[in-house]
Amino acid sequence: MRLVVARCSVDYDGRLTAHLPLANRVLMVKADGSVLVHSDGGSYKPLNWMSPPCRLTVSPPGEDALAAGVVETWTVRHAKTDDRLQVHVHEVLHDSNHELGVDPGLVKDGVEAHLQELLAEHVHTLGAGYTLVRREYPTAIGPVDLMVRDANGASVAVEIKRRGEIDGVEQLTRYLELLNRDPLLAPVTGVFAAQEIKPQARVLATDRGIRCLVLDYQALRGTDDSEHRLF
């Protein structure tokens, strides 16, 4: 991972347009190719980012940018869309590289772990004809909770949360981007399963073609499928 603290401005063009004025920020370039822009506040979420597959190029500024004080320009282009993240660096305050090694993945609490176990046991909750491939399916950035196949034999990745929020959708999106690079699995679709799914997370999941499954923990323990709603 490359970690840069810089005085910079940021522009995003694609499905939406956004601008971050000149300020000190943290720029993260991860081993999976993602680029994230953080501030020193605003909790854990980045102000802006580009998920893989994408390509980062660093170039000297043009004449107008140079006159404005820019020393280098980062351009991050998504490989499958026209989305572009551009960082105009005015001053580099810190620049370092860190090898983090293989991450063992998130250790879920008892409820999430039990939900995973129950859903694996009763995989038909996802739909008629679904079959389990395996739990904790490995990827380079951590294991997917469940890998299953639908009635047509297509691969489906399932991410399970106690409370479904935007960061969970982002996590599943990253898994899907990696899994779809494997020609033996692709195309891989996703299901986001949780006891409660926040409206914002549902909107984001729908926009990305991810289905949402609302789970009733007690009903699933009793395998009462009438209590499960698949959207």
Mean pLDDT value across the chain: 88
- Does position 27 have pLDDT exceeding 60, yes or no? yes
Give Rg (Cα) of the chain: 20
| Cβ(217)–Cβ(195) below 8 Å | yes
- Does position 224 have pLDDT exceeding 60, yes or no? no
- Does position 38 have pLDDT exceeding 60, yes or no? yes
Secondary structure letter of residue 225 according to DSSP: G
Residue 178's H or E segment, with its range, is helix 166-179
| Cβ(87)–Cβ(38) below 8 Å | no
| φ, ψ of residue 172 in degrees (nearest 5) | -65, -35
pLDDT digits (tens, 9 = 90+) for 75-134: 999 988 889 999 999 999 999 999 887 776 655 555 788 888 889 998 988 999 999 999
Q: Which of 100, 98, 2 is nearest to 58 (CA)?
A: 2
Domain 110-230 in the same topology as domain 2-97:
no
The full set of domain ranges for the chain reads 2-97, 110-230
| Cβ(60)–Cβ(80) below 8 Å | no
Yes or no: domain 2-97 corresponds to CATH 2.70.180.20: yes
- CA–CA distances in Å: residue 198 to residues 66, 103, 110, 159, 214: 44, 27, 21, 15, 11
Q: Which CATH architecture has domain 110-230?
A: 3-Layer(aba) Sandwich (3.40)
What average pLDDT does range 156-172 have in this prediction?
94
Would you state the pLDDT for residue 109?
Answer: 53
Residue at token pair 């323990």: 221
Token digits of residue 23:
């300020």
Would you state the pLDDT for residue 227?
Answer: 41
- Does position 228 have pLDDT exceeding 80, yes or no? no
Position with higher pLDDT, 109 vs 172: 172
pLDDT digits (tens, 9 = 90+) for 1-15: 999 999 999 999 987
